[in-house]
A = this chain, B = another copy of it.
Amino acid sequence: MSNTVQPRTLSGFMELLPDRQLQFEAMAEVLRKVYSSYGFYPLDTPVLEAAEVLLAKGGGETEKQIYRFTKGDADLAMRFDLTVPLAKYVALNYGSLAFPFRRYQIGKVYRGERAQRGRYREFYQADIDIIGDGELDIINEAEIPAIIYDSFTRLGLKRFKIRVNNRKLLSGFFNMLDSGLEAQDIMRVIDKLDKIGIDKVRAELAEMGMTGEAVDMVAGFVGRQGATGEILKGLEDYRGRDELFDRGLDELGAVVRYLGDFGVPEENFGVDLTIARGLDYYTGTVYETTMLDHPEIGSVCSGGRYDDLAGFYTNKKLPGVGISIGLTRLFYVLDEMNYISQDRAPSSVDVLVLPMGDDLSAPVSFARVMREKGLKAQIYYETKKFKAKMAYADRIKAPFAAIFGEDEIAAGKVSIKNMATGEQETVDYDRAAELLLERAGRTRGESIIEEKHE
């Protein structure tokens, strides 16, 4: 054909080959299961919204990146996160929702960023939020680390740490310093602690005009590392000097109190007083999650407590707490680290059924029986040589082939070939189902991620 158009996918848009898509789906399915297990409703809001509604909050860095256009006389925009649509949804349906309203949404969002490796213009976010009507108990904030822990553990990860801080604690502490400096500027220096060390942090703060006493306080504050209990104990030293700080300390105490009951191990959790997560939106607990062997990729699950979800849509006070996993980016970085298991790759079938002759009754019936037992069975219908049929079974990574030759059909049996070992046995359908179910049951529970430790 002469008039063909070159097929291509836009840069910055992840489009996976079939086997990789199976892996991605397995990850999304884990998150759906974990989020559901905590009683979150699934939600599905439109990708397109009225630009006026989506940009109600206005300004900000993201606005430049938004896909915005007109059709007819409608000014439209593609969603750039799942939080603004949630705010719209809750404001719009306020009277129909039961509060606390718990929802998860796993959906694509759009940001026309400059394309670069590992940066996507279309990507999945996997969000949960708990929204209160006027008020929301602190214990909701305590539950979040448990959800993060379950999510990452079920994905197959072990070496991660959920880091928690409290914005009231931080703001209260900055109040105490009485340094005349902007909180942002202090945070920017503190952020560099890991890289430049405490002495240089002290020097920079002094250079900015901070008094020696204040510098000592900062050093004392950020120097508090170690087990959660010790840090909390140390923070008691500051109690009574700032009301906001005291409330933050109480909240942090409440968040860590039930960690054991929630099943979050000590080694996967830590209080980190250097976490701020932007200084406007969040008002209480803030969360970051980092991979212990790969700190360079930054936080893979972040969020926090906010007091006012939808102030730009409604005068109802809607406090909440939420976290977000950038699923597309997470898949990309796990793959870059070689964490996505090749051995445990899910396959599109549990069995590939191979008719050897023209009579398809037996293979068709067999496949139906296997499906009724919850197995994935595909029949290969093409008239090809045996070798080509086996090559296809290999290419789609079928764990078993079910071969129907004349002998098998005459005997009412089937030959089940284990594609990994090459072993083959001729059995009746019941035994075949047993063989297939045994493997399917064993492998479906497996996580697709395997950490590699150098």
- Asked whether A5 lies within 8 Å of B312 as measured between CB atoms, the reply is yes
- Asked whether B69 lies within 8 Å of A67 as measured between CB atoms, the reply is yes
Closest to A136 in B: B382
Complex alpha-carbon distance, A125 and B139, angstroms:
40
- Asked whether B21 lies within 8 Å of A44 as measured between CB atoms, the reply is yes
Interface residues of A in 104-137 (CB under 8 A from B): 108, 110, 112, 121-122, 132, 135-137
- Asked whether A39 lies within 8 Å of B378 as measured between CB atoms, the reply is yes
The answer to whether the Cβ of A155 comes within 8 Å of any Cβ in the partner chain is no
What B residues does A392 contact at CB under 8 A? Answer: 98
- Asked whether A39 lies within 8 Å of B348 as measured between CB atoms, the reply is yes
- Asked whether B4 lies within 8 Å of A112 as measured between CB atoms, the reply is no
Complex alpha-carbon distance, A313 and B4, angstroms:
5
The answer to whether the Cβ of A36 comes within 8 Å of any Cβ in the partner chain is yes
Complex alpha-carbon distance, A43 and B25, angstroms:
9
Complex alpha-carbon distance, A48 and B14, angstroms:
11
Most chain B CB atoms below 10 A, which of A96, A313, A371: A371
Identify A122's interface contact among B10, B46, B143, B315, CB under 8 A.
B46
One digit per residue, 1 when the CB lies within 8 angstroms of any chain B CB and 0 when it does not, for chain A 312-352 equals 11110000000000000000000000000000000011001
The answer to whether the Cβ of A221 comes within 8 Å of any Cβ in the partner chain is no
Interface residues of A in 355-387 (CB under 8 A from B): 360-361, 364-365, 368, 371, 374-383
In whole Å, how far is A383's beta carbon from the nearest beta carbon of chain B?
7
The answer to whether the Cβ of A442 comes within 8 Å of any Cβ in the partner chain is no
What B residues does A315 contact at CB under 8 A? Answer: 1, 4
**Copy number of this protein in the oligomer?**
2
The answer to whether the Cβ of A72 comes within 8 Å of any Cβ in the partner chain is yes
What B residues does A396 contact at CB under 8 A? Answer: 39, 98
- Asked whether A49 lies within 8 Å of B18 as measured between CB atoms, the reply is no
Identify A50's interface contact among B8, B38, B92, B349, CB under 8 A.
B8
Identify A360's interface contact among B9, B38, B139, CB under 8 A.
B139
A262 and B364 in contact, given A8-B50, A69-B69 (Cβ under 8 angstroms) = yes
Q: How large is the interface on A (under 10, 10 to 19, 20 to 34, 35 or more residues)?
A: 35 or more
The answer to whether the Cβ of A234 comes within 8 Å of any Cβ in the partner chain is no
The answer to whether the Cβ of A15 comes within 8 Å of any Cβ in the partner chain is yes
Identify A38's interface contact among B56, B69, B371, CB under 8 A.
B371
The answer to whether the Cβ of A265 comes within 8 Å of any Cβ in the partner chain is no
What B residues does A312 contact at CB under 8 A? Answer: 1, 3-5
Complex alpha-carbon distance, A256 and B368, angstroms:
16
A98 and B9 in contact, given A143-B379, A349-B39 (Cβ under 8 angstroms) = no
The residues of A with any CB-CB pair to B shorter than 8 Å are 1, 3-10, 13-18, 21-22, 24-25, 36-50, 52-53, 56, 67, 69-72, 74, 76, 87-89, 91-93, 96-98, 100-103, 108, 110, 112, 121-122, 132, 135-137, 139-140, 143, 146, 150, 258, 261-263, 310-315, 348-349, 352, 360-361, 364-365, 368, 371, 374-383, 392, 395-396
Q: List 24 A-B contacts (CB under 8 A).
A: A1-B312, A4-B312, A4-B314, A4-B315, A5-B52, A6-B313, A7-B310, A10-B46, A14-B46, A22-B41, A37-B371, A38-B371, A39-B377, A39-B378, A40-B348, A47-B47, A67-B76, A72-B112, A100-B381, A102-B348, A139-B379, A143-B381, A150-B371, A263-B368
A-B residue pairs, 8 tightest by C-beta: A39-B378, A69-B69, A98-B395, A5-B56, A261-B364, A18-B41, A7-B313, A13-B46
